[in-house]
Amino acid sequence: MRTAAAKAALLSQAMHAEADLSSLRYSEARLSFLKTFTFPDEFATIRRLKAIPEAMWYWAMATRLLAGEQ
């Protein structure tokens, strides 16, 4: 359920930002990015998802798009 919600959030932001979806796909090889990624304070509750790397990845990508990063 948490991963599905994260995917929905990412898809919504990707459509809004007209982002390339292939660059946002989850890959275990790209998880090192999450070690340095810091969620904005308003998304601090997402930090509890560290036990679910895939959900964490999708939320990280969604918040990056929300902040205007691509």
pLDDT at 57: 93
> What's the predicted TM-score (pTM) here?
0.84
Q: pLDDT tens across 11-56, in order?
A: 999 999 999 989 899 988 888 888 888 888 888 888 888 889 999 9
- Which has the higher per-residue pLDDT, 40 or 3? 3
CB 54 within 8 A of CB 30: no
The whole-number pLDDT of residue 18 equals 92
Reduce the DSSP state of residue 13 to 3 states and report it: helix
CA dist 23 and 2 (Å) reads 21
Amino acid at 46: I
pLDDT of residue 67: 87
Question: According to the model, what pLDDT value does residue 50 have?
Answer: 82
Distance CA 70, CA 52 (A): 23
